[in-house]
């Protein structure tokens, strides 16, 4: 019985899970390729306890990390961040150039509702926003997607803050 499970069930589960992971990685690579002529090597920003505490207090993200991965070329930095909307992670790519938001793109949206935040019409609102921007007042909310909008606001604000730390 055990050999049957190992021989048939585990490989089948692996094949069922693999496409989900590949789709997320493919979407990430496609985003990076659109963001840069030639994708630079990823870098890592390590965040000490003091900065983690500040991040938690200021942005209240669903998860505090020890480090954040980013890509940088000249004055352009790309951050890929996850934040929980209502129940699931929303993976967002954020391009910061010269301390302003150049572009925001939802790389992987996993919620069952609120998918309107993926539209260019919504994400274009973030262009040219800075650390001084008041997202709750400057970004139009979407009826039925309030938690997703809040999650993306957190991600964009966090990307701008992290961008100041790497300098």
Instruction: Please state which of the ranges 44-48, 59-63, 93-97 shows the lowest mean pLDDT.
Output: 59-63
Residue 59 has a pLDDT of 87
The H helix count followed by the E strand count for the chain is: 6, 5
Per-residue pLDDT band at 9 (split at 50, 70, 90): low
Interval 91-149: pLDDT, tens: 999 999 999 999 999 999 998 888 899 999 999 999 999 999 998 888 988 888 889 99
- For the entire predicted model, the pTM comes to 0.83
Phi, psi torsion values for 127, nearest 5 degrees: -55, 135
Q: What b/e string do you get for 34-60 counting C-beta neighbours within 10 Å, with b at 16 or more? A: ebbeeebeeeebebeeeeeeebeeeee
């Amino acid at each position: 019985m055990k050999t049957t499970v190992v021989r048939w069930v585990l490989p089948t589960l692996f094949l069922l899970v693999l496409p989900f992971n590949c789709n997320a990685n493919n979407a990430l690579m496609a985003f990076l390729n659109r963001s840069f002529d030639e994708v630079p090597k990823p870098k890592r920003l390590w965040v000490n306890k003091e900065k983690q505490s500040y991040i938690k207090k200021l942005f209240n993200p669903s998860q505090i990390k020890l480090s954040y991965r980013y890509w940088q070329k000249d004055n352009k930095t790309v951050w890929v961040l996850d934040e929980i909307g209502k129940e699931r992670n929303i993976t967002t790519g954020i391009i910061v150039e010269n301390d302003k938001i150049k572009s925001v793109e939802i790389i992987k949206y996993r919620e069952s509702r609120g998918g309107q935040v993926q539209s260019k019409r919504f994400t274009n609102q973030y262009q040219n926003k800075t650390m001084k921007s008041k997202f709750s007042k400057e970004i139009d909310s979407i009826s039925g997607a309030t938690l997703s909008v809040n999650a993306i606001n957190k991600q964009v604000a966090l990307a701008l803050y992290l961008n100041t730390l790497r300098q």
